[in-house]
């Protein structure tokens, strides 16, 4: 672009500023500062609710911060019943299929003998042989070939090695690198913040939730505190400490409370024991005071949180953009338009939780299909019924989050409209600083001057054209 055209564009920019005395820090941000917000009673209630939730979350984290004793007791209990063993890396050297040592002429059995080089542990560098693998009955061990990397289990008390799993850590590392690269390339600064929020979410789940439950604290209470902490950290870290994020957070917490209430009522009505899976049956032996049913209910709350964040942030951004484009819209018009857009979002995400739960339970789904049970009887099974209750309660909260957040955002953006954009009685925004005729004359003059210039050459396509703007970039 030549210098003259840049000057004309600068003049247009200054004229635009004369007609609109406010500016925007970045896309989809709600106008008005915190001080202006505090002048509205509804906003004060929203801020008070968020503040109380923050105080309660911090107090809950402090009160239920785990000690290492509960985890250590669980480890000792798991060791006593044979659940704890070392995991060692190894490479397969020999794979031979033949008759089992216990095979009989009238009942032939075929087994696989595997020898490996152990890379870790007391026998590092040595060749060890695994127990015979019965090819007919032992289906838990995959096909193995010479040169494959595997993970061996090792019990020190008996000096016993057994196959634990295939070695896939390198694959996971490369997938993680690919994921991080894609997020950073497309997300830029926002992508970095999202990755950091994901890491902190894992810290909350692994460093607080699980150890605190093993310490004997109520799983549901710990899950609610963890969900609230994750909501605060992920939303404010990813989207910034701003009025927009605060409204989205308020909507998220409100919908999360609704999901919790519904889940609690229907978990009680359905009389779930929480002991329908093998893992649930083992947990009471590891932690005697663990309430498995409450743990399932807490899991439903955590599972609904991710989808809620998506809905609330989108709705706040939609309402903020509507208000920016049409400052004359009132609360009713903003709510109507926001919900109209939100319906499309809900229609595309209403199956989110269902597909997530079903996708994690595909083997179970196939087993029930093969059992020839009726749909009603299959749904009555606790394994299936738990997923149904989780899905429906979570989806109700997901749908309710849309109007809750839309109404909050509409009230806030309307109350936060700067004085320079107050709407007159005729329904048009008021521009007090520059007469309309002067703005029109200066705009026409600048446009005429711009039309007289030669059009700048079309720039070559760039990868940046397909990446989102960073927070500090404006339109």
| pLDDT at residue number 463 | 46
Asked if residue 153 lies in contact with residue 165, where contact means CB atoms within 8 angstroms, the answer is no
For the segment 317-324, the average pLDDT, to the nearest whole number, is: 86
Supply the DSSP string of 305-365, one letter for each residue: HHHHHHHHHHHHHHHHHHHHH-TT--HHHHHHHHHHHHHHHHHHHTTHHHHHHHHTTHHHH
For the segment 220-240, the average pLDDT, to the nearest whole number, is: 91
Coil, strand or helix at 201: helix
Residue 393 Cα to chain centre, angstroms:
18
How far apart CA 387 and CA 267 sit, in angstroms, is 11
For the segment 370-388, the average pLDDT, to the nearest whole number, is: 76
Q: Which of 140-144, 214-218, 352-356, 375-379 has the lowest mean pLDDT?
A: 352-356
Coil, strand or helix at 211: helix
| pLDDT at residue number 366 | 73
Q: Which of 320-329, 345-354, 374-383 has the highest mean pLDDT?
A: 320-329
Residue 125 has pLDDT above 60, yes or no: yes
Beta-strand runs (E) in 81-120 = 86-99, 110-118
Q: What is the mean pLDDT of the chain?
A: 77
Closest by alpha carbon to 443, among 24, 20, 26, 25? Answer: 20
How far apart CA 203 and CA 319 sit, in angstroms, is 33
Q: Check residues 35 and 429 and name the one with the higher pLDDT.
A: 35
Give residue 229's pLDDT band: very low, low, confident or very high (50, 70, 90).
Answer: very high
Give residue 462's pLDDT band: very low, low, confident or very high (50, 70, 90).
Answer: low
Residue 254, H or E segment: helix 243-270
HEC letters along 431-456? CCCCCHHHHHHHHHHHHHHHHCCCCC
For the segment 143-151, the average pLDDT, to the nearest whole number, is: 89
What contacts 422, CB < 8 A, 6 or more positions away?
Answer: 429, 430
Give residue 71's pLDDT band: very low, low, confident or very high (50, 70, 90).
Answer: confident
**Rounded CA Rg of the chain:** 30
Query: ∠ at Cα 315 (309, 318), nearest 5°?
Result: 140
Q: Check residues 274 and 20 and name the one with the higher pLDDT.
A: 274
For the segment 216-236, the average pLDDT, to the nearest whole number, is: 92
Residue 429 has pLDDT above 70, yes or no: no
Supply the DSSP string of 21-77, one letter for each residue: ----SSTTPPSS-HHHHTTSHHHHHHHHHHHHHHHHHHHHHHHTPPPHHHHHHHHHH
Asked if residue 40 lies in contact with residue 32, where contact means CB atoms within 8 angstroms, the answer is no
Q: Which of 146-150, 183-187, 252-256, 385-389 has the lowest mean pLDDT?
A: 385-389
How far apart CA 190 and CA 196 sit, in angstroms, is 10
Q: What is the DSSP letter of 472?
A: T
Tokens 């309307």 found at = 414
Which residue spans of the chain are classified as CATH 2.40.50?
85-169
Q: Check residues 258 and 78 and name the one with the higher pLDDT.
A: 258
Asked if residue 101 lies in contact with residue 132, where contact means CB atoms within 8 angstroms, the answer is yes
Cα maximum dimension of the chain? 106
85-169 placed in CATH 3.40.50? no
What are the two backbone dihedrals, phi and then psi, of residue 113, each rounded to the nearest 5 degrees? -110, 125
Asked if residue 202 lies in contact with residue 176, where contact means CB atoms within 8 angstroms, the answer is no
| pLDDT at residue number 65 | 92
For the segment 86-114, the average pLDDT, to the nearest whole number, is: 88
C-alpha separations of 221 from 138, 202, 209, 313 in Å? 41, 18, 10, 25
Asked if residue 131 lies in contact with residue 111, where contact means CB atoms within 8 angstroms, the answer is no
pTM of the model: 0.72
C-alpha separations of 285 from 195, 210, 214, 279 in Å? 36, 16, 12, 10
Residue 55 has pLDDT above 90, yes or no: yes
Q: Check residues 420 and 262 and name the one with the higher pLDDT.
A: 262
| pLDDT at residue number 468 | 46
pLDDT tens string 336-361: 888 888 887 777 776 766 676 677 66
Q: Which of 68-72, 338-342, 373-377 has the lowest mean pLDDT?
A: 373-377
Residue 200 has pLDDT above 90, yes or no: yes
Q: Taking the chain, what is the end-to-end CA distance rounded to the nearest angstrom?
A: 18
Closest by alpha carbon to 238, among 256, 225, 252? Answer: 252
How far apart CA 409 and CA 40 sit, in angstroms, is 13
Sort strands 149-155 and 110-118 into parallel, antiparallel or unpaired. unpaired
Coil, strand or helix at 332: helix
Residue 24 has pLDDT above 60, yes or no: no
How far apart CA 422 and CA 350 sit, in angstroms, is 38
Residue 80 has pLDDT above 50, yes or no: yes
Token pair for 369: 């299909």
Residue 8 has pLDDT above 50, yes or no: no
């Amino acid at each position: 672009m030549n210098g003259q055209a840049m000057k004309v564009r600068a003049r247009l920019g200054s004229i635009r500023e004369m007609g609109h005395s406010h500016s925007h820090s970045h896309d989809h941000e709600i106008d008005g500062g915190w001080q202006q917000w505090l002048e509205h009673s509804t906003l004060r209630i929203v801020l008070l609710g968020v503040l109380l939730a923050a105080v309660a979350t911090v107090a809950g984290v402090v009160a239920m911060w785990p000690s290492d004793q509960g985890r250590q007791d669980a480890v000792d209990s798991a060791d006593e019943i044979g659940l704890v063993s070392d995991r060692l890396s190894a490479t397969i050297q020999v794979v031979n299929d033949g008759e089992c040592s216990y095979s009989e002429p009238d009942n032939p059995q075929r087994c696989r003998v595997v020898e490996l080089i152990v890379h870790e542990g007391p026998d590092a560098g040595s060749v060890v042989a695994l127990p015979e693998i019965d090819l007919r009955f032992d289906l838990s061990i995959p096909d193995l070939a010479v040169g494959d990397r595997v993970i061996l289990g090792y019990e020190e008390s008996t000096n016993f090695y057994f196959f634990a799993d295939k070695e896939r850590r390198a694959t996971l590392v490369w997938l993680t690198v690919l994921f991080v690269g894609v997020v950073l390339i497309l997300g830029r600064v926002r992508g970095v913040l999202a990755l950091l929020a994901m890491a902190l979410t894992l810290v909350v789940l692994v460093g607080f939730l699980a150890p605190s439950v093993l310490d004997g604290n109520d799983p549901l209470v710990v899950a609610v505190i963890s969900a609230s902490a994750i909501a605060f950290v992920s939303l404010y870290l990813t989207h910034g400490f701003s009025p927009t994020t605060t409204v989205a957070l308020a909507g998220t917490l409100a919908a999360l409370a609704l999901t919790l209430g519904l889940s609690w009522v229907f978990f009680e009505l359905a009389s779930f024991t929480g002991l329908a899976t093998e893992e649930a049956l083992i947990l009471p032996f590891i932690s005697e005071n663990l309430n498995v049913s409450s743990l399932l209910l807490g899991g439903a709350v955590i599972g609904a949180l991710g989808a809620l964040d998506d809905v609330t942030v989108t709705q706040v951004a939609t309402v903020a953009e509507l208000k920016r484009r049409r400052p004359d819209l009132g609360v009713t018009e903003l709510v109507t338009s926001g919900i109209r857009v939100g319906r499309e979002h809900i229609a595309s995400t209403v199956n989110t939780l269902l597909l997530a739960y079903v996708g994690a339970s595909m083997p179970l789904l196939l087993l029930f299909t093969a059992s020839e049970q009726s749909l009603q009887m299959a749904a009555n099974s606790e394994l299936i019924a738990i997923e149904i209750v989780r899905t429906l309660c979570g989806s109700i909260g997901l749908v309710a989050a849309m109007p809750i957040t839309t109404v909050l955002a509409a009230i806030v953006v309307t109350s936060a409209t700067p004085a320079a954009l107050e709407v007159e009685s005729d329904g048009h925004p008021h521009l007090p600083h520059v007469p309309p005729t002067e703005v029109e004359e200066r705009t026409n003059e600048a446009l005429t001057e711009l039309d007289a210039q030669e059009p700048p050459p079309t720039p070559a396509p760039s990868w940046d054209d397909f990446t989102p703007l960073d927070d500090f970039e404006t339109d």
